[in-house]
């Protein structure tokens, strides 16, 4: 194995004319024949911060998500449990990550079976849940277990938080933390309800890249699964969740 590694690195150094450490074959601009300046600073004149006012940023996120055929609503935090319950009225079962705020599921109708994707109840979540007794009951009574793939396949829906969202591209980023869940729980169930606090919404991609740790297992989601493979026309709904509901939690 070391043989291949060394040989490839040697080949690349040869290609660059770097036998003695400095690059002698710097490359040529193909239209002019002038040598490439490999020491030149990488220009970064592109926008790194958005310019829209906050309401316009949120409006743009909504617009983009709707364009991707996601279902979107904006509600104050107090209304989240009600909206979640509405959206999951038809669900048999819902899986949630252990770090999700407990009251999110507090109004889910009784027949909906809730399970938490964790080996055991986590202190933080339960503590938060104690704020409201109703929510605490629902959360505490939920079964805690690491779900198998088959269990997730038999689960109707998943509810998670999110880390940061990009208005301009309609992109929601999950980072595998305890409120976003393991990657597979947002993948296998066919319906994903995702909570996006207004404060986590940025306007453009560079602002989001600066706020997310890419060494975590990051998943970026822009609408429900889709394909352009048939005549290059976009069709929603292939292997990933076919329904994406986004609940934007307003600051007010």
User: What CA–CA distance (Å, rounded) separates 242 from 223?
Assistant: 9
Q: Which of residues 166-185 bind other proteins (CB under 8 A)?
A: 166, 168-171, 176, 182-184
Work out which of 62, 221, 246, 248 binds other proteins, going by CB under 8 A.
Answer: 221
CB 162 within 8 A of CB 209: no
Bridge pairing between strands 235-236 and 219-221: unpaired
| Binding of other proteins by 20 (CB under 8 A) | no
Please list every residue from 63 through 102 that binds other proteins, using CB under 8 A: 64, 68
What is the Cα–Cα distance from 125 to 93, expressed in whole angstroms? 20
- Reduce the DSSP state of residue 4 to 3 states and report it: helix
Nearest to 182 by CA among 88, 94, 98: 98
94 contacts 112 by C-beta, under 8 angstroms: yes
Size of the site for other proteins (CB under 8 A): 83
- Told to check if 22 binds other proteins by CB under 8 A, we report no
Q: Which stretch binds other proteins (CB under 8 A): 7-15, 80-88, 107-115, 130-138?
A: 7-15
Measured in degrees and rounded to the nearest 5, phi and psi for residue 203 equal -85, -50
User: Is the Cβ of residue 120 or residue 130 nearer to other proteins in the bound state?
Assistant: 120
**Least CB distance from residue 152 to other proteins, whole Å?**
9
154 forms part of the interface with other proteins (CB under 8 A): no
Stretch that binds other proteins, among 73-81, 87-95, 104-112, 205-213 (CB under 8 A): 205-213
Instruction: Copy the structure tokens of residue 170.
Output: 């309609």
Q: Does 49 bind other proteins (CB under 8 A)?
A: no
Instruction: Indicate which single residue of 22, 111, 231, 252 sits in contact with other proteins (rule: CB under 8 A).
Output: 231
Largest CA distance in the chain: 74
């Amino acid at each position: 194995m070391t043989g291949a590694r060394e040989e490839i690195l040697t080949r690349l150094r040869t290609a660059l004319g770097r036998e003695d450490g400095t690059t002698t074959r710097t490359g040529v601009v193909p239209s002019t024949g002038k040598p490439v300046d490999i020491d030149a600073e990488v220009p970064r004149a592109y926008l790194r911060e958005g310019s829209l006012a906050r309401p316009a940023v949120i409006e743009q996120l909504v617009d983009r998500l709707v364009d991707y055929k996601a279902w979107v609503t904006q509600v104050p935090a107090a209304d989240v449990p009600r909206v979640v319950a509405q959206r999951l009225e038809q669900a048999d079962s819902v899986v949630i990550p252990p770090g999700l705020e407990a009251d999110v599921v507090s109004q889910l109708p009784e027949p909906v079976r809730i399970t938490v994707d964790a080996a055991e109840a986590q202190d933080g979540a339960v503590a938060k849940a104690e704020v409201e007794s109703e929510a605490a009951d629902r959360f505490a009574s939920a079964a805690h277990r690491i779900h198998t793939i088959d269990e997730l396949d038999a689960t109707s829906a998943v509810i998670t938080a999110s880390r940061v969202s990009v208005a301009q591209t309609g992109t929601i980023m999950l980072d595998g933390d305890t409120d976003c869940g393991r990657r597979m729980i947002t993948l296998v169930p066919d319906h994903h309800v995702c909570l996006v606090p207004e404060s986590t919404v940025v306007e453009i991609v560079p602002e989001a890249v600066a706020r997310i740790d890419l060494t975590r297992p990051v998943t970026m989601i822009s609408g429900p699964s889709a394909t352009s493979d048939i005549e290059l026309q976009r069709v929603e709904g292939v292997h990933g969740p076919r329904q994406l509901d986004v609940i934007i939690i307003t600051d007010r």
